[in-house]
Amino acid sequence: MTFFSLRRAAVQARRANGCVNPGTYSFARRACISAAPLIFASALMFLGCDVRFPEADSKLHELAVKQAPEKSSSNLREDLDRAIQLALDGRLLSSTRNAAWQIMHGVLCFGSQLPLETPDRGVVSATQFALSGGSFEGWELSLGDHLPTVGKHGIKARLEPGSFIGQGHVDQWIAIFAMANMPIETPVTVAGNSLTLAEWARQAQRDVCSNPLREYSWTLITLTSYFPNEPSWQTADGQTWTWERMVEQEVTYDLTLSPCGGTHRLMGLVLAIQAHQRLGLPISPTWNRAQEIVEQSVSTIRSMQNSDGSLSSHYLVRPGASSDLGATLGSTGHLLEVLSAKLSAEELSQPWVERAAARVCEIILVTSSVDVDCGALYHAVRGLKLYREKRFGSPLPAVSN
């Protein structure tokens, strides 16, 4: 029996016992579409990562008030494993009920291990389904430019900023595959053409010169991950672009006014700095400024930590705590993800970071029976995974599809 056959049986058994809570991971398309009423439209277009649902909000507030958990006395490693496994096993995404925005956030966390319920193939790997021609709302790939160096077409994904259905940021999808450690040779079928993630990443590299939003954080993540030895290249218009040129633009933005509290921008800077350092490239004022921003952000995150271990609900803006566990999960989870990517294993063992990780675990465990925003949840769990892997090794056993 395959991994996904076993998972299908386990999910069916839990459904029979009333234990499965699809929650926001499985909210219907209509819920996704109705999540941006007019009064919130401008905020949603800007933030890109925090859709709230009134019914779920009231449940989360009730949990925060009535069931705020005490500090666990169990081993942190066990808490991490339990929270990560619960996020993987406790909810099941569906190709007919979920949009690409939710599904790809799950991929961010679990890559090819993420199960997806489909009408014709049963429960299968979400990435295998998506990349082999599977269809779900917001998932729109098309052939890109002819790439002379490889003799194939590139791949493009439709950009839908603020929709919370499709790709909300330039190069977000291919960056998610990179962050999920999906191999660059992973097959991708587009319009009957057999391609790979390599062609998709090459298209992203080629299109840097025509970024419509002048937003380079996801592109930095993609290119430093998939082409770690290529700090410079030629774009479609014949210009020479570099990691540094993108970083130079990114450091001009105000993190406190950036999507998701600036955490995605920080992640791009962290990975770019690490890639730059691995190659031993020369230091410049641009790289010094990027390093300064990252270090100052870590200091700010630490200085505004709440007494329960959570990180500021206002991200980098000012100190703050929220009685809404969903909001706390969103802010603490996003910030922990950055910390886990940036800090060393020794730095992650500091008590203040341990307390933040423990708080995220507690929230995931206590909200397992209610709806939680998928963006908040999956970024938080990815933060836990990165933390677990750096400090203790891989959190989940290897799975063969």
Give the pLDDT confidence score for residue 54 in this predicted structure: 42
Give the pLDDT confidence score for residue 33 in this predicted structure: 28
Give the pLDDT confidence score for residue 58 in this predicted structure: 56
Give the pLDDT confidence score for residue 10 in this predicted structure: 44
Packing angle of the helix pair 263-278, 217-226 (nearest 10 deg): 30
Buried b (16+ CB within 10 A) or exposed e, 89-112: ebbbbbbebbbbbbbbbbbbbbbb
Buried b (16+ CB within 10 A) or exposed e, 302-323: eebbbebbbbbbbbbeeeebbe
391 within 8 A of 345, measured Cβ to Cβ: yes
Give the pLDDT confidence score for residue 397 in this predicted structure: 52
Q: Are strands 122-125 and 115-118 parallel, antiparallel or unpaired?
A: antiparallel
Q: What is the pTM of this model?
A: 0.84
Give the pLDDT confidence score for residue 305 in this predicted structure: 97
| Rounded Cα gap, residues 57 and 370, in angstroms | 9
Give the pLDDT confidence score for residue 43 in this predicted structure: 36
375 within 8 A of 51, measured Cβ to Cβ: yes
Q: What is the pLDDT along the chain (401 residues), one digit of tens a residue?
A: 444 544 444 444 333 322 234 334 333 332 332 333 323 333 332 333 333 344 455 555 555 544 444 444 358 999 999 999 999 999 899 999 999 999 999 999 999 999 999 999 999 999 999 999 999 999 999 999 999 888 999 999 999 999 999 999 999 999 999 999 999 999 999 999 999 999 999 999 999 999 999 999 999 999 999 999 999 999 999 999 999 999 999 999 999 999 999 999 999 999 999 999 999 999 999 999 999 999 999 999 999 999 999 999 999 999 999 999 999 999 999 999 999 999 999 999 999 999 999 999 999 999 988 888 899 999 999 999 999 999 998 755 544 33
